[in-house]
Chains A and B, each alone.
Chain A
Amino acid sequence: MKLYNQYFAPASVDEALALLAEHGERARVLAGGTDLIVELDRGVRHLDAIIDITRIMGLDHIEEEAGTITLGPLVTHNQAANDERVLARAFPLAQAAWEVGSPQLRNRGTVVGNLITASPANDTIPPLLALGARVVLGSAARGERTVSLDDFYTGFRKVDLSPDEMVLRIEIPALGEGERGAFAKLALRRAQAISVVNVAVMLRESGARITLGSVAATVIRAPAAEALLAQGPLTPQSIEEVARLTAEAATPIDDVRGTAEYRVQAVLVLARRLLQALHTGSERDSYPTERANLWERAAHPVSVAPAPTSLIESIINGQRVTMEGAAGKTLLRALREDAGLIGTKEGCSEGECGACTIWLDGVAVMSCLVPAERAHGATVTTIEGLSEGDTLHPLQQSFIKHDAVQCGYCTPGFIMSAAKLLEEKGTRFTDTEIRQAISGNLCRCTGYYKIIEAIQALRQPTDDTLPPD
């Protein structure tokens, strides 16, 4: 089905709020779209209109002033995971952002979106709740109001946000000198997996906070554990006791990801490990210093092209292409059906397989999660744009040489991810970065190893300045 009937791309926040006021329940704000498009595609949610705010200038900014870090509603997970200020003074958020999905999802999905979807398993909620963050909401009728995250979640996947409101920014009280925190999650697969549980611990002047995800209908705090933490400095004995009290706060259920008992155990273990790391000051050791983001520059690209009317016009593989009839589709379908570019493949339509990976304004994204209209005025590169005539991209040659192709259905997606790694890192990258770069791409045939070898072959072989894997 088409995802929606009407698509709006307001140029200012005021315009966006006016549209929300007009359409109310029947519309929804779209930023990264990584959750919303899946819900629309699966028919879980029906909407008349989406209001794509990605053309509003300035909403992707991270700012810091007077001890407050502010994130605009378009700040992506990858931005949060790489920003120096977030890393320095809201570190648990960077950790959580880095653990979300895959590079392609982190390049589109926004922190605000993650907050609003309000799944108790969402990774950025526990650290923000533990940091004492607030959201600033705006509406045309009532102006701005600020809500503490403590009050924002009203039930399972429910938030205190009226249909005519949107989140204008997140405000995070930055960690001060001597204040520290950390986040950890446990999932059933190493990369790109939903949390079985996640935990954030924050030690601040004003008191300690411990938050838990995926153990109740909303992300919760562990008050008894927090109270004990507040009584004095961490000792090996107090760590054990705090961890135990943290686990006691969890009231999980059984589901396909794990049993309730296992979740309680996992909370205990994660809490203990976080507290130990904080105690020894080693909480930053596990954060990767080298990160493959699959982008060329660290800014979220905000297109300033005017909103599309009925025709979507993009620069695809260096050529101006007009896509007719693409409105209401995903960019993946538009490319395949309306631009005749069949090289980009559909494997899942839910952002999980990476077969649809393309570059949108120079950033690798899953095209199945991008509304086609978003490509209007944007630059798109697909697999067809990588080779020039019969001259293959070095990566394509390497895939042949290393026999990294079997059925070939996943291959365009892997090439687009890996080629972006090369653009981002040149010929200097580690094995870990290779695995990061393709962690959003599934292959059912090859077992991956030859794909990894094919990518390894393109880095400088004797560069010993690289950190070991």
Chain B
Amino acid sequence: MTTKSFGQRIKRNEDPQLLTGRAQFVDDVHIPGMLHVAFKRSDYAHARITGIDLEAAKSMPGVVAVYTAEDLGDFWQPSPLLVPPPPAEHVVFNKRTSGQLARSKVRFVGEAIVMVVAESRYLAEDAAETIIVDYEPLDAVVGLEAALTEDSALVHEDVGSNIGAHVIQRKGDYDTARAQADLVISRRLLYDRGTAAPMETRGVVAHYDHLARHLTVWDSTQAPIPIRNGLAAMFGLSERQVRVIAPFVGGGFGPKVMMFYPEETLVPWAAIKLERPVKWIEDRLENFYAMTHERGQLHDSEIALTKEGKILGVKDVFLHDTGAYIPYGLTVPINTQCTLLGPYVVPHYYTEFKALFTNKTVVTPYRGAGRQHGVFVMERLLDIAAKELGMDPLELRRINFIQPEQFPWCNEIIYQDFTKLTYDSGNYEPVLDKAMRMIGWDEWRQNEQPRLRAEGRKVGIGLVMYVEGTGIGPYEGARVQVETTGKVTIVTGIGTQGQGHYTSFAQIAADALGVPMKDIYISTGDTGQFSWGVGTFASRGAVVAGSAVYSAAQMVREKALKQAAEHLEASEADIELVDGFAQVRGAPGARVPLATLAASANPLRGAVRPGTEPGLEATAYFGPQMGTTASGAHAMIVEVDPETYQLKILKYVVVHDCGPLINPLIVDGQVHGGVAQGIGNAFYEQLIYDETGQLLNASFMDYLLPTSTDVPRMELGHEETPSPLNPLGVKGAGEAGAIPVGPLFAQALEDALIDSGLEILEIPLSPSRLWELVEGGDA
């Protein structure tokens, strides 16, 4: 491949629209005659519905329709299960998904009970306020351990317990390994709930054209094609009669994959039934309750080592809070299981979890998607073991690394793509070395830190490692077409939420076809343009769809070379594609524009030769046999105020190996954003529930996202170990920034507060919590 734009720091094509306020997000869709939706949602975490009084709402002027679960008739259906449980050794799975509106019982605060459709959003909201729901409150299932006790209330009575799933996986024989160990460390570790909080909330607009029998849906989703397929099936329409558009999407981070939210099916349903366009835009309060959450795990973990520090085995038994339903299957806890082992040789591993139903918002993947929990457990155990062994924590990591020649490395347990967890490639020592150099580890330890400590300052350093499974299948596709103007169009089915796919894909095609970036137009996330695909999640956009774009572009390239060879009467091998022309190498005068080739590939008279397709275009699909594993290290230096426990990050370093970089600018941005979310998760953001299942901080006033004053400047380093699994050699980069921040904070804060003997076994932290741990005797 001739590399021109690949690997360059190229500016994104989509920016001017966004910067001038002319990019269309779902809330910007306006259709004349449009109706608006508001929901009456549950005030209780757990209650039986004994009555619903809709009279006042129905009689309000401007109210068009009011629907309860009863009114939906046959359309009321539990949502489909997105991901079936994996074929692991021991699997119990109790599928429970939610219907569109709560019937007879509510299971979390914010669950939708009634849908109101009115002439304006204001009228719909006013009408929803008048609805009176009579509840018979039930005890709420909130705490994880409490959910398992005999006398706990049951979120789903028919399950007979609050166990949504129970999975055991193992590699080797942990018990035997433990018996041989010189040191066994056991700890209980907690990782609490958070929310993705994209700046744009969710929203759906639906329009059904009764004459054309065609449904168009604008949805702030990461996965438009599965939504299209699902809606078509639900409404008895052909997939050709449904078009789902994910326009500009204001951040997704995982929860905007969750097909199907109740609102996603109800809004189109109402549009068909009422023969009017219908719009619903979530407000921030609803977003806190009704968009899915992530996290909430309690681990009992153990590591067994030799006295030299070699890992013999790990055992991890954990409870995972899945919320009131389990529509996304076991992706999050499986990620936890599979990411825990990290870049280390762990010969024996026993891992078991129970996913528990609770009366809280449903949990689905959010950036990191359970991976951070696994990394937190492993890195913490290693830190504690290093202390016990009197070893340098980084040396302990180093001697346990999987070595470059050991790849592919199989960890034997089943991963979220249902294949055996296998790392395709990696080289971890250079990553560690670079991170140590960049943070200035040795200098800091030897000189800086002792000097600052002598001044009485509480300063600490940390460095943690992680691996990240990315770029999983099943597949994505792309169509690349040279139009008769010579401009190139690329179409894929994945949605984009700011990852810069437009630019990355254009770069790949620009290199294959020798056309300038500005002449490439990209369409993503519109099922009217491309019919096949899965979605943007699990850091897979650049890897999977990018590889499909690459294959399609290569096919077009071959077509162009063949035609040009005929046209220029030269051998194919001598043709090169440059600046929109096909030309004979060494004889630049002999050339033909791609536009001409495109026109002659689509003749209006005569015949296209048998065996050839018309047009200078091709469609290709890419399905990796398994995910590709990226890796990295984060390091930071932090200072803690010894009295208030507020902290200041003095330096932050990320070294990341995601294979060759398509566009370093975009990868940098993904890492920065991920770290900011990781910092939020580690020190600022925590969803706080009381014992009745009420969320106490459903507002940006008390659920604190980091602001520009809280996120440090980051220094980034890259290593490039190519993946053998795709033609570009690339690995995903979307989540790496967020994954190891929790254990990094824990390690660095322990170091800063070393005199206190503090051991941090929970995330998130806060100044108040840190103070309690140190001073409150709560440690």
Which A residues form the contact surface with B (CB < 8 A)?
Answer: 1-2, 42-43, 186, 188-194, 196, 255-259, 261-262, 265-266, 269, 328-329, 336, 341-350, 352-353, 355, 382-384, 386-387, 392, 396, 399-401, 403, 405-412, 415, 435, 438-439, 441-452
Please pick, from A266, A384, A438, A444, the residue contacting B251 in the complex, using a CB distance under 8 A.
Answer: A444
The complex places the Cα of A400 from the Cα of B17 at a distance, in Å, of: 11
Please state if A196 and B768 are interface contacts (CB–CB under 8 Å).
yes
Please state if B768 and A451 are interface contacts (CB–CB under 8 Å).
no
Summarize A's interface: helix, strand, loop or mixed.
loop
Residue of A nearest to B250 (CB): A409
The complex places the Cα of A450 from the Cα of B22 at a distance, in Å, of: 22
Contact with A along B674-685 (1 / 0, CB 8 A): 111100000010
The complex places the Cα of A405 from the Cα of B201 at a distance, in Å, of: 18
Which of B84-92, B159-167, B706-714 is the contact stretch? B706-714
CB distance from A253 to the nearest CB of B (A): 13
Q: Which residues of B contact A439 (CB under 8 A)?
A: 707-709
CB distance from B201 to the nearest CB of A (A): 8
Please state if B126 and A1 are interface contacts (CB–CB under 8 Å).
yes
Please state if B20 and A1 are interface contacts (CB–CB under 8 Å).
no
Please state if A445 and B200 are interface contacts (CB–CB under 8 Å).
no
Tell whether B607 is near chain A: CB-to-CB under 8 Å: no
Q: Which residues of A contact B613 (CB under 8 A)?
A: none
Q: Which residues of B contact A347 (CB under 8 A)?
A: 199-201, 284
Interface size, chain B (Cβ < 8 Å) = 79
Q: Which residues of B contact A336 (CB under 8 A)?
A: 27-28
Contact with A along B29-65 (1 / 0, CB 8 A): 0000000000000000000000000000000000000
Contact with A along B648-672 (1 / 0, CB 8 A): 0000000000000000011011011
Please state if A383 and B21 are interface contacts (CB–CB under 8 Å).
yes
Q: Which residues of B contact A256 (CB under 8 A)?
A: 688, 696-697, 702
CB distance from A288 to the nearest CB of B (A): 13
CB distance from B423 to the nearest CB of A (A): 27
The complex places the Cα of A342 from the Cα of B22 at a distance, in Å, of: 7
Q: Which residues of B contact A396 (CB under 8 A)?
A: 16, 19-20
Please state if B21 and A343 are interface contacts (CB–CB under 8 Å).
yes
Q: Which residues of A contact B198 (CB under 8 A)?
A: 407, 409, 444
Tell whether B572 is near chain A: CB-to-CB under 8 Å: no
The complex places the Cα of A342 from the Cα of B248 at a distance, in Å, of: 13
Q: Which of B621-666 contact A (CB under 8 A)?
A: 643-644, 646, 665-666
Tell whether B721 is near chain A: CB-to-CB under 8 Å: no
CB distance from B629 to the nearest CB of A (A): 24
Q: Given that A345-B200, A442-B700 are contacting pairs, would A384 and B21 also be in contact in the complex, using a CB cutoff of 8 Å?
A: yes
Please state if B676 and A447 are interface contacts (CB–CB under 8 Å).
yes
The complex places the Cα of A329 from the Cα of B123 at a distance, in Å, of: 12
Q: Which residues of A contact B615 (CB under 8 A)?
A: none
Tell whether B253 is near chain A: CB-to-CB under 8 Å: yes
Please state if B283 and A349 are interface contacts (CB–CB under 8 Å).
yes
The complex places the Cα of A441 from the Cα of B198 at a distance, in Å, of: 13
The complex places the Cα of A196 from the Cα of B768 at a distance, in Å, of: 9
The complex places the Cα of A435 from the Cα of B714 at a distance, in Å, of: 16
Please state if A1 and B125 are interface contacts (CB–CB under 8 Å).
yes
Please state if A444 and B199 are interface contacts (CB–CB under 8 Å).
yes
Please state if A444 and B673 are interface contacts (CB–CB under 8 Å).
yes
Contact with A along B172-184 (1 / 0, CB 8 A): 0000000000000
Q: Given that A257-B768, A262-B771, A447-B676 are contacting pairs, would A405 and B711 also be in contact in the complex, using a CB cutoff of 8 Å?
A: no
Please state if A409 and B768 are interface contacts (CB–CB under 8 Å).
no
The complex places the Cα of A445 from the Cα of B711 at a distance, in Å, of: 12
Q: Given that A407-B250, A439-B708 are contacting pairs, would A449 and B713 also be in contact in the complex, using a CB cutoff of 8 Å?
A: yes
Please state if A405 and B775 are interface contacts (CB–CB under 8 Å).
no
Please state if A343 and B22 are interface contacts (CB–CB under 8 Å).
yes
CB distance from B557 to the nearest CB of A (A): 29
Please state if B284 and A348 are interface contacts (CB–CB under 8 Å).
yes
Please pick, from B21, B24, B676, the residue contacting A448 in the complex, using a CB distance under 8 A.
Answer: B676
Please state if A191 and B707 are interface contacts (CB–CB under 8 Å).
yes
Please state if B672 and A411 are interface contacts (CB–CB under 8 Å).
no
Please pick, from A2, A258, A344, A407, the residue contacting B498 in the complex, using a CB distance under 8 A.
Answer: A407
Please state if B19 and A405 are interface contacts (CB–CB under 8 Å).
yes
Tell whether B238 is near chain A: CB-to-CB under 8 Å: no
Closest 4 CB pairs of A and B: A343-B21, A409-B250, A407-B498, A408-B18
Please state if B776 and A261 are interface contacts (CB–CB under 8 Å).
yes
Q: Given that A189-B704, A259-B768, A407-B249 are contacting pairs, would A449 and B666 also be in contact in the complex, using a CB cutoff of 8 Å?
A: no
Tell whether B722 is near chain A: CB-to-CB under 8 Å: no
Beyond A194-B702, A407-B251, A409-B200, list 10 extra A-B contacts (CB 8 Å): A189-B707, A384-B21, A384-B22, A392-B19, A406-B499, A444-B199, A445-B199, A446-B673, A447-B669, A447-B671
Please state if B707 and A406 are interface contacts (CB–CB under 8 Å).
no
The complex places the Cα of A329 from the Cα of B121 at a distance, in Å, of: 11
Residue of A nearest to B705 (CB): A442
Residue of B nearest to A341 (CB): B21
B18, B201, B772 interface centre (most CB from chain A within 10 Å):
B18
The complex places the Cα of A441 from the Cα of B696 at a distance, in Å, of: 23
Q: Which residues of B contact A383 (CB under 8 A)?
A: 20-21
Q: Given that A343-B21, A446-B673 are contacting pairs, would A403 and B11 also be in contact in the complex, using a CB cutoff of 8 Å?
A: yes
Q: Which residues of B contact A258 (CB under 8 A)?
A: 766-768
Q: Which residues of B contact A346 (CB under 8 A)?
A: 27
Q: Given that A1-B125, A403-B11, A407-B200 are contacting pairs, would A190 and B20 also be in contact in the complex, using a CB cutoff of 8 Å?
A: no
Q: Which of B699-731 contact A (CB under 8 A)?
A: 699-702, 704-711, 713-714
Q: Which residues of B contact A328 (CB under 8 A)?
A: 122
Q: Given that A347-B199, A403-B665, A448-B711 are contacting pairs, would A411 and B771 also be in contact in the complex, using a CB cutoff of 8 Å?
A: no
Tell whether B521 is near chain A: CB-to-CB under 8 Å: no
Please state if A406 and B498 are interface contacts (CB–CB under 8 Å).
yes
Tell whether B23 is near chain A: CB-to-CB under 8 Å: yes
Q: Which residues of B contact A400 (CB under 8 A)?
A: 11-12, 15-16, 19
Q: Given that A269-B643, A383-B20, A443-B199 are contacting pairs, would A194 and B709 also be in contact in the complex, using a CB cutoff of 8 Å?
A: no
Please state if B702 and A257 are interface contacts (CB–CB under 8 Å).
yes
Q: Which residues of B contact A345 (CB under 8 A)?
A: 25, 27, 199-200, 250
Q: Which residues of B contact A265 (CB under 8 A)?
A: 643-644, 771, 775
Q: Which residues of B contact A196 (CB under 8 A)?
A: 767-768
- Can you list 23 residue pairs at the A/B interface with Cβ under 8 Å? A1-B126, A188-B766, A189-B684, A258-B766, A265-B775, A269-B643, A343-B20, A343-B22, A348-B284, A349-B284, A386-B20, A406-B499, A407-B249, A409-B248, A411-B19, A438-B707, A444-B198, A444-B673, A444-B676, A444-B677, A447-B672, A447-B674, A448-B708
The complex places the Cα of A42 from the Cα of B285 at a distance, in Å, of: 9
Q: Which residues of A contact B129 (CB under 8 A)?
A: 1, 43
Tell whether B197 is near chain A: CB-to-CB under 8 Å: yes
Tell whether B497 is near chain A: CB-to-CB under 8 Å: yes
Q: Which residues of B contact A189 (CB under 8 A)?
A: 684, 704, 706-707, 709-710
Please state if B644 and A269 are interface contacts (CB–CB under 8 Å).
yes
CB distance from B769 to the nearest CB of A (A): 8
CB distance from A411 to the nearest CB of B (A): 5
Please state if B283 and A451 are interface contacts (CB–CB under 8 Å).
no
CB distance from B460 to the nearest CB of A (A): 19
Please state if B122 and A405 are interface contacts (CB–CB under 8 Å).
no
Q: Which residues of B contact A43 (CB under 8 A)?
A: 129
Q: Which residues of A contact B125 (CB under 8 A)?
A: 1
Q: Which residues of A contact B699 (CB under 8 A)?
A: 348, 350, 352
B249, B251, B776 interface centre (most CB from chain A within 10 Å):
B251
Contact with A along B319-344 (1 / 0, CB 8 A): 00000000000000000000000000
Please state if B248 and A188 are interface contacts (CB–CB under 8 Å).
no
Tell whether B500 is near chain A: CB-to-CB under 8 Å: yes
Q: Which residues of B contact A403 (CB under 8 A)?
A: 11-12, 665-666, 668-669
Q: Which of B561-619 contact A (CB under 8 A)?
A: none
Please state if B707 and A442 are interface contacts (CB–CB under 8 Å).
yes
